[in-house]
Amino acid sequence: MEYDIQEDGRFKYIESGGGENNLLLLHGLFGALSNFQGIIDHFSSHYNVVVPILPIFELPIRKVSVTGLVDYVVDFVEQKGYESVNVLGNSLGGHIALLYALAKPERINSIILTGSSGLFESAMGTSFPKRGDYDFIKTKTEGTFYRPEVATKELVDEVFDIVNDRNKAIRVIATAKSAVRHNLGDKLHQIKAPTLLIWGKQDQITPAFVGEKFEELIEDAKLIFVDECGHAPMMEHPEVFNQHLEAFLKEVTNKSTA
């Protein structure tokens, strides 16, 4: 699916304009707009679905970090003038969502995390893959999912291109190391917003126990496991994911307007 990418100053994003409530989607380190296609298609008509394209490969090298990306989201929400957002993050995007919620709690209506980093993650292993090793990248990308076929050739090619671009590879490593340094275990008790955790039961990158730990540490959190599912439930089981997300957003919206 092709998306109409808008530009506003230094920000690139898509925005559906489908409703008063903002649903802000934050992609992961190897993420792309296509990762959120099921959410965008389902919610765009009745929510203002917004997906900023995070400048993982455009930030000045000295600012390449999780906090640099959080600053970008803070500035983006200010630029757009959103009073409040329901923020959803997958993988690194969940980590950014949590740090944003800690920095700007007054802007947060709710938080949705799926396969979020911030406590524990096991992505590429102990070393970065050898450049040019397509089969290795294909295997690693397939390992993101419970069903390997979800890793389309287009998706594998995207990851392969990132790994083989020296400039992008350096930024991926720097961002990943920054994420490990910014462990949130001692900060999650500060989050008071209603939080939905949708986790793949067979997630190999942020395993099931990570979702359980998030539920334990976040005061108002609810954990839902999706069976036969890996690191990206919104891609592997979009209908199930959207059912849980819609019920949660309706509940949150009804409480805020009561």
Three-state secondary-structure class, residue 10: coil
pLDDT at residue 136 in the model: 87
Q: Which of 51, 24, 97, 39 is nearest to 234 (CA)?
A: 39
Residue 209: band (very low, low, confident or very high) from pLDDT cuts 50, 70, 90:
very high
pLDDT at residue 44 in the model: 95
The vertex-22 CA angle with 17 and 24, nearest 5°, equals 105
> Is the pLDDT score of 223 beyond 80?
yes
Share of the chain above pLDDT 90, in %: 71
Element housing 14 (H / E): strand 11-15
Parse the chain into domains and list their residue ranges.
Answer: 6-121+183-257
C-alpha dihedral, 104 to 110 to 172 to 121, nearest 10°: 120
pLDDT at residue 130 in the model: 61
pLDDT at residue 121 in the model: 74
More confident residue, 3 or 161: 161
Contact between 232 and 114 under an 8 Å Cβ cutoff? The reply is: yes
* Amino acid sitting at position 82: Y
pLDDT at residue 208 in the model: 96
HSE, CB side, 13 Å, CA atoms: give it for residue 103. 18
* Amino acid sitting at position 22: N
193 Cβ contact partners less than 8 Å away, ≥ 6 residues apart: 101, 105, 108, 109, 110, 111, 220
Contact between 216 and 188 under an 8 Å Cβ cutoff? The reply is: no
pLDDT at residue 126 in the model: 42
E strand intervals along 53-161: 85-90, 108-114
Three-state secondary-structure class, residue 12: strand
pLDDT at residue 207 in the model: 95
> What is the DSSP pairing of strand 108-114 with strand 11-15?
unpaired
pLDDT at residue 258 in the model: 61
Mean pLDDT, range 122-144, rounded to an integer: 73
- Give 151-206 pLDDT, tens digit per residue: 999 999 998 998 899 888 888 888 988 888 889 999 999 999 999 999 999 999 99
Contact between 217 and 189 under an 8 Å Cβ cutoff? The reply is: yes
Element housing 223 (H / E): strand 221-226
The model's pTM is 0.93
Contact between 203 and 115 under an 8 Å Cβ cutoff? The reply is: yes
Q: At how many degrees (to 10) do helices 166-181 and 153-163 cross?
A: 90
Mean pLDDT, range 111-124, rounded to an integer: 85
Fold of 6-121+183-257: Rossmann fold (3.40.50)
